[in-house]
Amino acid sequence: MFTELERVSPFLFSLLENSPDYVTMISPEGIIRFTNRTHPRYAMIGLIGHSVFSYLAPESHEVARACFRRVVETGEPGFFEALAHVGTEVRRYHTRVGPVQSGGRVVALTLISSDVTERTEMEQRLREQRDTLEFAAAATGLGLWHLDVRTRELVWDDEMIRIHGRGVAPRDYTAVLDWVHPEDRARVDATVRDSLTSGTFQDLEYRVVRPDGGVVWVFARGKALRGEDGQVTRLLGGVLDISERRRSEEALRASEERYRTSIAALEEGIVLQSRDGTIHTCNASAEHLLGLTRDQMLGRTSLDPRWRAVHEDGAPFPGHTHPSFTTLMSGEPRSGVIMGVHKPEGQLTWISINSRPLYLAGSQQPSAVVTSFFDITARKHAEAENERLLRVERAARRRAVLLAETSKLLAASLDVFASLEEVVRRLVPEAADLAVVELLDEHAAFGPEHAVAIAAGEPDLEACYRELARRPGDGRGELLELVRHGEVRFTVVQIDGEAPVLPGVPKAEHLAERLRHRSSVLVPLTARSEPLGVLVLGGRTRAFDADDLALAEELALRIAQSLDVARLYRDMQTALHKRDEFIAVASHELRTPLTPLMLQLGRLEQLCRGRSELATAVAAPKIHTILRQTERLHRLIEELLDVSQITGGRFHLEPEALDLAALVRETIDGFAERLERAGCPVRLEMPARIEGRWDRTRLEQIVSNLLANAMKYGAGKPIDISLADLPDCVLLSVRDRGIGISLKDQARVFQRFERAVSERHYGGFGLGLWVTRHVAEAMGGSVTVESAPDVGSTFRVRLPRQTPTAAAAQLAHPPP
């Protein structure tokens, strides 16, 4: 055995000398007996015989003695960690203690010490980093997870357990999948499986069902890690509870503007620039937004001309005004700075930039700047489109207002040409620099007397154009041809082209150069296929478009319609005047032979009274019938004559002093025979006398018309006539108990040729009440009716005691 020991001893000593650990043998009391190596500061011989506690830090003595005692007493190996002084350094060692036994007892201890100072410091840093990470995760509510693809082992932190409402972490991935909402389960599983093959974990938003039935929305973001074989071996990431954001999206968006989360920050472009302004790092979003790779951006500064940045108005964006540069120089943060950046392929991207300074402890100047930005190109395009639509809307509104005002001007007066002067002045400069309306004369030509309305903003130019337009000659031929053929001419000349002279203006005229317009629209004025004139709009600098053409055509249409309406009105007035003249002539012509005929019939009727039985029985009834029809014809002719006089302004009143009560009695006496035939007894209620100044003939006409009307529509029933002497007027009332008048017809019965019944059952022209109304109004009074169907009607005439002297003058221009 001794020989074998001698043989292996060199090998053992060589192994101990080259071991990285310190191997020491001590007595149970701690006296060093052997060591394989020492620190360069100590000699080997200087250690032997000394206590090991001489080299241990005082705070480690107790733990070392306790370990030594336990090994001696139990004979089992042990270990401890202790601090030891090595020169001026204090190092940490991990020591394994083994017993050396002889005769059944421990006679020595073997110490194998490993220097763990660096490892311990690293573990401490790792613990601190882990604590920091856990604190950050807890502060943001972010739960962390880790999945081993091969073993399917899933590791959750406490925040993950809390988010899912579970008491413990799940066993594996399959258990977690069962907790996902059934509607989201297939999508989540497909995303996870896709990440195993693609190596890219897509962000997920899905619902988790808690044990109590509550539903939580979570956002999951992860990363796939590959092994040496290129296969995905691990998935790791974090989960954030976004239920509050889902419940209050608006509140979250407002909150994101103030407190941007790490996830939102990742969606933005992030660039870190050092103190000298060079880009130190950037994220993937910055690469995507700027169209540059990370390598292409690193080392650049804001002053680099390759950025090709512009302001919102298109002007260059100097590098020294870039938010990151100004923040580095001033230390002031910048927010919401809009910048346009051209990508390498030329595409313009609009971004909104925020910059924040970073300070080192104790530094007064920024040591770096963090710039975040996000893409607002879509917003800028939407704003541009909104601005375009707003311009279109404003233009449409201006055109609508212009058309409405034009219609109002044209409808304000029957003097259309005077209105046209206002219309063309309204068009300049709102819609054009030149506006002209020329109307054809009675020979359908632009003769010396044809109407010209022009507005150009220059009085001398307007006067010269009028003089040129009315000058005799063939210079207007081209314009006349356009009008006769109904041809719309629309001209727009490019900025660098020569503007043409307006049609109808000879180029040799000195006025021609002043009438060159870059844009022009000529629209013929046509009504019912008949040419009436032309509308001309010109623009010196503006370029007319399709909307301007549509405006010109609509203006031309409205002008033509107004001209046509005015012409129709003049034709109608002429026709009405001729009709009234015919009625007056016919009335006089019919009245001339009718008067002697009525006189002769009256004499024949008198001769037949008291004569022979043959005359009484045969001739008298026939003559009486002829006389009644002749009287009826006489009344109709009188009504037509009244119409002629009233509408022709030849109606006159001759007031005189008279007794109205006596006049009413005389009129009723004249109707005695007709009232008897109609079976209409008359009941009178009036004072003995009512005196005043009225026209006797016209007053008899009012009473006769109302009495005849009551007798016609209330035949066989009593008629009540009353006179009331009121303080300020006299009131005549005629009431019948006939068919009555509906409420909707009561105003119409006072109109000319109107009636409330069928003319097949009741004769007459429908003029009696119209004449009554005009006669009463001529004497300063009025006529009203109160009626109901099948109950009867009551007509009331109010007359002042004195006929106004100017009353008759009101009929000089009577209403129709």
pLDDT of residue 181: 92
For residues 440 and 533, is the Cβ–Cβ distance under 8 A?
yes
pLDDT of residue 17: 57
pLDDT digits (tens, 9 = 90+) for 82-95: 888 776 778 888 88
CA pair distance 52, 30, nearest whole angstrom: 6
pLDDT of residue 797: 94
pLDDT band at 634 (very low <50, low <70, confident <90, very high): low
pLDDT of residue 723: 93
Record the tokens describing residue 286, joined without a space.
């910055």
pLDDT band at 665 (very low <50, low <70, confident <90, very high): very high
pLDDT of residue 265: 47
Q: Is it the case that residue 646 has pLDDT exceeding 70?
A: no
Give the DSSP per-residue string, 748-783: GGGSTT--SS-TTTS-S-S-HHHHHHHHHHHTT-EE
Does residue 411 or residue 532 have the better pLDDT?
Answer: 532
pLDDT of residue 581: 60
Work out the average pLDDT over 459-479. 81
For residues 465 and 452, is the Cβ–Cβ distance under 8 A?
yes
What element of type H or E holds 103? none
pLDDT digits (tens, 9 = 90+) for 180-208: 999 999 998 898 888 888 888 888 889 99
pLDDT of residue 718: 92
Residue 747: phi, psi to the nearest 5? -80, -30
pLDDT digits (tens, 9 = 90+) for 782-814: 999 998 888 889 999 999 988 776 444 444 334
Q: Is it the case that residue 264 has pLDDT exceeding 50?
A: no
| 3-state SS, residue 361 | coil
Q: Is it the case that residue 255 has pLDDT exceeding 50?
A: no
Residue whose tokens read 């990285």: 20
DSSP-assigned beta bridge partners for residue 237: 145, 222
Q: Is it the case that residue 763 has pLDDT exceeding 80?
A: no
CA pair distance 283, 203, nearest whole angstrom: 17
pLDDT of residue 128: 67
pLDDT of residue 724: 92
pLDDT of residue 814: 46
For residues 729 and 781, is the Cβ–Cβ distance under 8 A?
yes
Share of the chain above pLDDT 90, in %: 12
Please enumerate in sequence order all residues whose Cβ is within 8 A of that of 239, keeping only pairs 6 or more positions apart, or say none. Answer: 142, 143, 145, 160, 163, 218, 219, 220
Q: Is it the case that residue 587 has pLDDT exceeding 80?
A: no
For residues 42 and 35, is the Cβ–Cβ distance under 8 A?
no
Work out the average pLDDT over 411-418. 78
Residue 432: phi, psi to the nearest 5? -160, 165
For residues 767 and 642, is the Cβ–Cβ distance under 8 A?
yes
Record the tokens describing residue 192, joined without a space.
């996870």
Share of the chain above pLDDT 70, in %: 78
pLDDT of residue 583: 59
pLDDT of residue 261: 42
For residues 246 and 219, is the Cβ–Cβ distance under 8 A?
no
Q: Is it the case that residue 563 has pLDDT exceeding 80?
A: yes
Provide the residue count of the chain. Answer: 816
CA pair distance 175, 569, nearest whole angstrom: 92
Give the DSSP per-residue string, 459-528: HHHHHHHHHHHTS-SSTTHHHHHHHHTT--EEEE--TTSPPPBPTTS-TTSTTGGGGB-SEEEEEEEEET
pLDDT digits (tens, 9 = 90+) for 336-365: 899 999 888 888 889 999 999 988 777 778
Lowest mean pLDDT among 51-65, 223-237, 395-409, 642-656: 642-656
Q: How many CA atoms lie within 13 A of 506 on its CB side?
A: 12
Q: Is it the case that residue 757 has pLDDT exceeding 50?
A: yes
Record the tokens describing residue 387, joined without a space.
């601005």
pLDDT of residue 521: 92
Q: Is it the case that residue 288 has pLDDT exceeding 80?
A: yes
pLDDT digits (tens, 9 = 90+) for 494-540: 766 677 878 777 776 777 788 888 888 999 999 888 999 999 999 88
Record the tokens describing residue 40, joined without a space.
């360069």
CA pair distance 137, 696, nearest whole angstrom: 112
Question: How many CB atoms sit inside 10 A of residue 16's CB?
Answer: 15
CA pair distance 492, 39, nearest whole angstrom: 100
pLDDT of residue 662: 92
pLDDT of residue 807: 47
pLDDT of residue 130: 64
What element of type H or E holds 613? helix 613-614
What mean pLDDT value characterizes the chain? Answer: 79
pLDDT of residue 442: 83
pLDDT digits (tens, 9 = 90+) for 605-631: 666 665 555 455 556 566 656 655 666
What element of type H or E holds 319? none
CA-closest candidate to residue 491, choices 425, 424, 548: 548
Q: Is it the case that residue 305 has pLDDT exceeding 90?
A: no
Query: Could you tell me the pTM of the whole model?
Result: 0.39
pLDDT of residue 651: 64
Lowest mean pLDDT among 195-204, 227-236, 540-549, 576-585: 576-585
